[in-house]
């Protein structure tokens, strides 16, 4: 997914203005990664 790397350059408010759908997906991905990082 080429656009995934671009997420790091966006601010969340900017993403919400640009596309709430993408912003919501980004939140889901972030939560999933955070849970994975917390696992030993």
In a domain, residue 39? The reply is: no
Residue 23: predicted pLDDT: 73
Which pLDDT value is given to residue 11? 66
How many structural domains compose the chain? Answer: 1
Cβ distance 6 to 14 under 8 Å? Answer: no
1-40 pLDDT tens trace = 455 555 555 666 776 677 777 778 878 888 887 777 776 6
User: What does the alpha-carbon distance between residue 14 and residue 22 come to, in Å, rounded to a whole number?
Assistant: 11
Report if residue 16 sits inside a domain.
yes
CB 26 within 8 A of CB 7: yes
Which pLDDT belongs to residue 16?
64
Note the pTM of the prediction, 2 decimals.
Answer: 0.40
Q: Which domain holds residue 26?
A: 2-32
């Amino acid at each position: 997914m080429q656009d995934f790397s671009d997420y790091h350059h966006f601010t969340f408010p900017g993403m919400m203005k640009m596309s709430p759908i993408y912003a919501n997906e980004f939140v889901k991905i972030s939560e999933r990664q955070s849970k994975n990082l917390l696992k030993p």
